[in-house]
Amino acid sequence: MSLQERLTERFLRYAAVPSQSKEGCAVVPSTPGQWDMAKLLKEDLAELGLVDLEISEFCVLTGRLPANLPAGHAPVPNVGWVAHMDTVDVNLSSEVHPQIVKNYQGGDVLLNAEKQIYIKVSEHPELNKYIGSDLITSDGTSVLGADNKAAVANLMVALETIIKENRPHGEIYVAFVPDEEVGLCGSKKMDFSKFPVEFAYTIDCCELGEVVYQTFNAGSAHIKIKGVTAHPMSAKNTLVNPALVAVDIINCFDRMQTPEHTEGTEGFVWVNSIVSNPSQATVSIKIRDHNREKYEAKKELIASAVEYLKVRNPRARIELEVKDMYGNIADALTDDNRCAVDHLYRALEIAG
């Protein structure tokens, strides 16, 4: 079986396990399907010969591939490989029905003839980069789950290849974490005594040959607005419409600092959810910036907008909760550990 066939076989098997995470849950993992995924991976890792396999109470799966270097070999660092097991929930079916488009020749990709669902080149021009390739897609009724089942398959086939070809290596630790799509809760639950590495690599995107060694500083803001209800016939000077208060808050932000107007390392404030009824509304916001000072300024802007609307709407009750999720990886790079990035570029050169 070729490398491509092995990758495809593993990917399709892992994609078939429904493991969508769920926003707003108080427990980790947020869904039972992630337990199923962790158990399947533990069995596969054991079959490959990894040791110290353990699924924690938070569904974090860790394991170790023992070093096989000859006696007297110079010390090498312990290295970690990481991927998340959950897939995003976008209110589609949790059942994935993958299909393979052989030798893609360009143009729109028909996902579902019955429902007339397409991936359109006009909306996804990146398709043009993969003419001549085989594409794996969903049937349009679900996400495919390649984020991050493709990474899971990659790591498993990499381990399989190293072991079968007896390639020399130091200690390799693996970690598969839950609930990345809903705020990295899974990785925050890791017991790092089970993952004693000097540096680690995460596969989670994007294009072939792409290396990412800096990230956004990331946070979230949740605004709860409690209004005052009244019958519209007698609402004058009484009604406080929480939906309108939410709109006023959103309008305090710069429309040019949103994901549809930014690129590269440019930061943004992304209002990604508004839920409202006559008595209350909630606004969910994602905050991103590579620059730490600009990230903090965005948090202050949101807080100032909330305070301003409290003054304008004294009878409304407005509550703000801001959470930091993760920091820019590049801020942790030093002269001592930057070799982790250099190794990646060297590996890509060797792989062509």
Q: Which residues are catalytic?
A: 86, 180
Q: What angle do CA 32, 153, 49 make, to 5 degrees?
A: 90
Looking at residue 125, the DSSP 8-state letter turns out to be: G
Which of 29, 30, 84, 22 has its CA nearest to residue 59?
Answer: 29
| DSSP element (H, E) containing 4 | helix 3-15
For the chain, count helices (H), then strands (E): 7, 13
- Candidates 293, 274, 291, 290; CA nearest to 282 is 274
- Indicate the DSSP class of residue 87: B
C-alpha to C-alpha distance for 239 and 229, rounded to whole angstroms: 5
In one-letter notation, the amino acid at residue 246 is: A
3-state helix, strand, coil in the chain (%, to 5): 35, 25, 45
Quick one: residue 325, left, alpha or beta (phi over 0 = left, psi -120 to 50 = alpha)? alpha
293: CB partners within 8 A, 6+ apart:
none
